[in-house]
Amino acid sequence: MKTTCMLAVLALATTAVFAQHPGRSSENTPKLAELLKERPQLDLNRDGILTLEEALKARERNARQPRTRKMAPTHADVSYGDHPSMKLDFWKAESTEPVALFVWIHGGGFRGGDKAPANARLLEPLLNAGVSVASINYRLSGIAPYPAQMHDSARAIQFLRSKAAEWNLDPARIAVGGGSAGSGISQWLAFHDDLANPESDDPVEHRSTRVSCALALSMQSTYDPRVIRQIIPGNAFDDSALKPFYGLPDDWNWETAKIDAKLDALIKDASPINHLTADDPPVFIFHAERTRTDGNIHHPNFGTYLETAMKKTGIDCVRTTDADYDSPSGPYDHMVRFTLQHLAAAPMEKGQ
């Protein structure tokens, strides 16, 4: 009842406000943050951020798009590592032959979010196309700072490869994707050297972490505040998610504090674009035009910045915004086609 009342108040009182403040979201508006916590399904694009626009359109969502079935995972809350946060859900595609896999990585500023609900706009069409799907959790920054989030996700990829025979997967064909923080992890996995460790006592770690392609929704291509300050207008470089991500205190000041060699190396390593080389897989970039505002940590300039770098290396990169499509389902249909296209071939090898 509380959530219903909150939606009603938002619908009645904020339509005019939205026209004046299109950048309102759960990241800067407490009521939207509370609503996202209570009703995560209102986050239509599953990027871990509830915008005012999404909240206002919640009541008409069913009229704007086909209702998707609630699809229970074939395997739920499977542990892929030692920490309680390291859990995944898995949906098995029906096939007599081993199938490709798509792994969804949730957003939430590295501080929040959850593997459920997975992105239904991608899950259902991929399953229908014969691609199995997994959705993963990872340690949030309040539990452990970088590189825990990336390393956990890499471990999930290795674990899923280790289950290939049991779950009828083709370990050579794995794609990843996510929104916001999940997009950063997806890019990091796509660009980073293989983390396989054939000398480990753990056989899961013998598996590759490489992927065939990545989807990057509402993405950031760098987490270096010094670079963000150069490419994004406003104060996006001081986004509140970055400090806990690096294990820094709340009163850390990026403009005055000294960045020592250790922190400098950490920041550079955390930024996906810094791992980009010519043998990396393709990436699909998607942003909403409403994020083209000063200080927005989901600004489309992040996509332009990565696209420029990928073109220089000759890697396939598709960059779009919602303005390129005639319907809300358009970008997701495009992402599915992109994913299926690049899952048709095995990923290229990169240095061990």
For residue 90, which amino acid is it?
Answer: F
- pLDDT, position 12: 42
- pLDDT, position 44: 67
For domain 75-343, the CATH architecture is 3-Layer(aba) Sandwich (3.40)
- pLDDT, position 6: 52
Percent of the chain, pLDDT > 90? 76
Mean pLDDT rounded to a whole number for the chain: 89
Q: Please state the rounded mean pLDDT for residues 186-211.
A: 98
How far, in whole angstroms, is CA 344 from its chain's centroid?
Answer: 22
Structure tokens at 307: 């696209």
pLDDT digits (tens, 9 = 90+) for 160-179: 999 999 999 999 999 999 99
CA neighbor of 152 nearest in space, from 141, 164, 142, 137:
137
- For 2, other C-beta atoms within 10 Å of its C-beta total 9
3-state secondary structure of 295: coil
Question: Which position has the token pair 């939207």?
Answer: 32
pLDDT digits (tens, 9 = 90+) for 271-287: 999 999 999 999 999 99
pLDDT digits (tens, 9 = 90+) for 76-90: 999 999 999 999 999
Q: Which residues touch 248 (CB under 8 Å, ≥6 apart)?
A: 242
Per the model's pLDDT, the better-predicted residue between 139 and 29 turns out to be: 139
Residue-range domain boundaries for the chain: 2-64, 75-343
3-state secondary structure of 27: coil
Taking a C-beta distance cutoff of 8 angstroms, is the pair 323, 289 a contact?
A: yes
- pLDDT, position 34: 74
Q: Please state the rounded mean pLDDT for residues 235-241.
A: 96
Q: Please state the rounded mean pLDDT for residues 217-246.
A: 97
What band does 345 get if pLDDT is binned at 50, 70 and 90?
low
- pLDDT, position 14: 46
3-state secondary structure of 90: strand
Q: What is the pTM of this model?
A: 0.83
